[in-house]
């Protein structure tokens, strides 16, 4: 079977690329496009790109300059469609970048398309936005399948629902990609690199809170100290951790209580916050969805701290080795958080790619046996 050559469009730090690589060597990157300079630097550090086509602006890609491709993968800019953002859709100029996918697909005629976006895309503008997207792709001759997939179902402890769209020119693939088989998720404790010590920073770079009486809210470290009892009785549900509309985390009748494992917390840097929904999850529940804007944390042994960049990368399925490469080239911490929040979850890409590949191989065998 010939290798599947692909263009990584709106590549970010290469979530699609990592996911496709993990799916098998049959996927061969031949070009990529990314406009953010920090993401470009990260992409080059993570992958061998010297012989590949590159353009920093999708609107400037000349199809004649592109090598032949079998697949376009793209997490086209999601802010215009996300319930997190302003929901301007195609009225926002970033929304028109979707049309670059259509333009390149029309010119290069790849056999497959693999696209990702936020689930808000499905009902934006009463469904007109999604209908426009499907129509534009279908008019090129592609059959389409789409499904909302949750990262928590594919081996990472994060609730991250995204709509995945698969297009193909071979009509025999119709209806064979979705649904996917799910795998067991992980609890937040599985991204914590060991028991947190008594220091502000662990030797592995993970920030921990000071375990000292009188630490207050940890203003100097940006972390919280919950239960000041030096010898708590550890229970499965710590009474000291409560979530209210007017106070995110407080020390409420928390004598002799603590936490086993880790719990997900959103906006951990705020002592008081007004928001709808929960800020703290149960020990075995997945993390909240990573975004480029929100800050996330975990409770651990009765303490609350922000997630470290390494842990955010783990939540998206990247290896520690990949994260280390970005640290080595000096990517700022703020950019690391942004990169993780903007990335596609690599595990989900791997799952979709493997299913697509399995169905392609079935068709090849049918042809050989015909």
Kind of pairing, strands 112-117 and 71-74? parallel
Q: Is residue 321 part of a domain?
A: no
Q: Is residue 326 part of a domain?
A: no
Do you find a cis peptide bond into 160, omega within 30 degrees of 0?
A: no
One domain for residues 32 and 156: yes
One domain for residues 180 and 215: no
Q: Is residue 190 part of a domain?
A: no
Q: What residue numbers bound the domain in which 161 lies?
A: 4-185+340-369
Q: Is 78 a catalytic residue?
A: yes
Segment 47-75 shows an average pLDDT of 97
User: pLDDT, tens digit, for every residue of 125-169?
Assistant: 788 788 888 888 998 999 999 999 999 999 998 889 999 999 999
Measured in degrees and rounded to the nearest 5, phi and psi for residue 143 equal -90, 150
Residue 21 is given by DSSP the state H
Structural domains of the chain, count: 2
pLDDT value at 211 more than 50 = no
One domain for residues 20 and 134: yes
Reduce the DSSP state of residue 303 to 3 states and report it: strand
Q: Is residue 161 part of a domain?
A: yes
> What is the pTM for the complete model shown?
0.70
Q: How confident is the model at residue 304 (pLDDT cuts 50, 70, 90)?
A: low
Q: Is residue 98 part of a domain?
A: yes
Average pLDDT of the chain to the nearest whole number: 74
pLDDT value at 104 more than 70 = yes
Q: Is residue 51 part of a domain?
A: yes
Q: Is residue 172 part of a domain?
A: yes
pLDDT value at 68 more than 50 = yes
CA distance 264 to 188: 7
Percentage of the chain lying above the pLDDT 90 cut: 51
pLDDT value at 297 more than 70 = no
Please give the C-alpha separations between residue 97 and each of 59, 75, 239, 247, in angstroms, as whole numbers: 8, 11, 49, 41
One domain for residues 281 and 354: no
One domain for residues 77 and 160: yes
One domain for residues 131 and 212: no
Among residues 73, 78, 240, 312, the one annotated as catalytic is: 78
CA distance 332 to 152: 28
CATH of the domain at 132: 3.40.50.150
Q: Is residue 118 part of a domain?
A: yes
């Amino acid at each position: 079977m010939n290798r599947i050559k692909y263009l990584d469009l709106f590549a970010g730090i290469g979530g699609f690329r990592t996911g496709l690589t993990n799916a098998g060597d049959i996927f061969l990157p031949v070009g990529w496009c990314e406009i953010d300079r920090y993401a470009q630097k990260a992409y080059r550090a993570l992958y061998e790109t010297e012989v590949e086509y590159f353009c920093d602006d999708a609107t400037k890609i000349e199809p004649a300059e592109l090598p032949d491709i079998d697949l376009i993968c793209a997490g086209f800019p999601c802010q215009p469609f996300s319930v997190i953002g302003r929901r301007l859709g195609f009225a926002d100029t970033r929304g028109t970048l979707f049309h670059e996918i259509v333009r390149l697909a029309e010119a290069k005629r790849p056999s497959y398309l693999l696209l990702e976006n936020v689930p808000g895309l499905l009902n934006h503008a009463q469904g007109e936005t999604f209908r426009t997207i499907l129509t534009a792709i279908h008019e090129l001759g592609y059959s389409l399948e789409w499904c909302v997939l949750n990262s928590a179902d594919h081996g990472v402890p994060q609730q991250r629902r995204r709509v995945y769209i698969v297009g193909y020119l071979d009509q025999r693939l119709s209806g064979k990609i979705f649904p996917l088989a799910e795998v067991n998720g992980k609890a937040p404790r599985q991204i914590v690199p060991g028991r947190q010590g008594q220091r502000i920073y662990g030797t592995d770079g993970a920030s921990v809170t000071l375990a000292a009486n009188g630490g207050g809210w940890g203003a100097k470290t940006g972390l919280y100290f919950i239960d000041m009892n030096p010898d708590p009785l550890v229970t499965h549900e710590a009474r000291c951790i409560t979530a209210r509309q007017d106070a995110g985390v407080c020390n409420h009748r928390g004598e002799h209580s603590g936490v086993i494992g880790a719990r997900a917390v959103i906006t951990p840097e705020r002592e008081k916050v007004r928001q709808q929904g929960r800020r703290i999850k149960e020990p075995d529940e997945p993390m909240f969805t990573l975004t480029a804007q929100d800050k996330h944390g975990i409770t651990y042994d009765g303490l609350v701290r922000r997630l470290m960049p390494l842990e955010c990368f783990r939540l998206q399925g990247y290896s520690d080795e990949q994260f280390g490469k970005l640290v080595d080239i000096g990517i700022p911490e703020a950019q690391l958080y942004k990169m993780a929040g903007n990335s596609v979850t690599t595990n989900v890409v791997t799952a979709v790619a493997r299913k697509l590949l399995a169905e392609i191989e079935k068709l090849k065998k049918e042809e050989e046996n015909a």
